[in-house]
Amino acid sequence: MTTFTIQDVTKTFTNGEVSEQVLNGINLSLQEGELTALVGASGSGKSTLLTIAAGLQSASDGKVKFDGNNMIGMTQEQIRKIRASKFGFVFQSAHLVPFLTVEDQLMLMLDVAESKMSKHEQKEEVAKVLKLVEMDHRKNAYPASLSGGEKQRVAIARAIIHKPKILFADEPTASLDSKRSRDVMTLIRDLTKKLKITTLMVTHDEEMLPFADRIITMKDGLII
């Protein structure tokens, strides 16, 4: 089932009198339960496309349709609510809050997503998700005591705790060694299938591509 559609999206950056078009009419549909990898050389436009799809910056033209609604033209508050409740994000760095325990990192995300669950129900949900990513034994740990792989597992748990429909992953394994990279990608792939999430990932690492259901190559602002 198609859950996310990008139609004729363009993006032009202007610096004084100089304009550069970095996206040249992108069309892409994302499917439920599918992990799509965006690849291409630096400057190809893949990260720009990801951030536009995620509502982190606006397109110059075109449509970004989620749940049948065009996000381009929405107010910043409308987009913020979609990001908080319907989208999940995993970046190269885990960006964990240093003074919060693993459990509290996820509790905070539920607050951001304006969860209607009681605190008791939230704690039960956190326990379930931490078990899913095999980090339940570290729920009381602080980020400083976690390995790189453990931090990314917590970041992934935080990204899915509010049951998002779309997961955006920007170079999620770039800071990890090869073994931890494979572990993290196995987790992302398995969660995409198990939870029927639509996952869009940017990566430079060719070893991670076998984990993807579909590989989209970009060059000079175009899908090739």
pLDDT surpassing 90 at residue 15: no
- Report how far residue 125's alpha carbon sits from residue 148's, in angstroms, rounded to the nearest whole number: 24
- pLDDT score recorded for residue 18: 80
User: Torsions phi, psi of 192, nearest 5?
Assistant: -55, -45
User: Running DSSP on this structure, what letter comes out for residue 208?
Assistant: G
Which domain does 72 fall in, by range? 2-223
pLDDT surpassing 80 at residue 156: yes
Partners of 103 in the β-ladder: none
CB atoms within 10 A of CB 100: 14
- pLDDT score recorded for residue 3: 83
**Pairing of β 69-70 and β 166-170:** unpaired
C-alpha triplet 171, 175, 21: angle, nearest 5°: 35
pLDDT tens digits for range 72-101: 889 999 999 999 999 999 998 999 999 999
- pLDDT score recorded for residue 81: 93
Model confidence at 137, pLDDT cuts 50, 70, 90, reads: very high
pLDDT tens digits for range 53-66: 999 999 999 999 99
The tally of domains found in the chain comes to: 1
Model confidence at 17, pLDDT cuts 50, 70, 90, reads: confident
pLDDT surpassing 80 at residue 16: no
pLDDT surpassing 90 at residue 1: no
Report the mean per-residue pLDDT for the chain. Answer: 94
What CATH number should be reported for the domain holding residue 45? 3.40.50.300
pTM value surpassing 0.75: yes
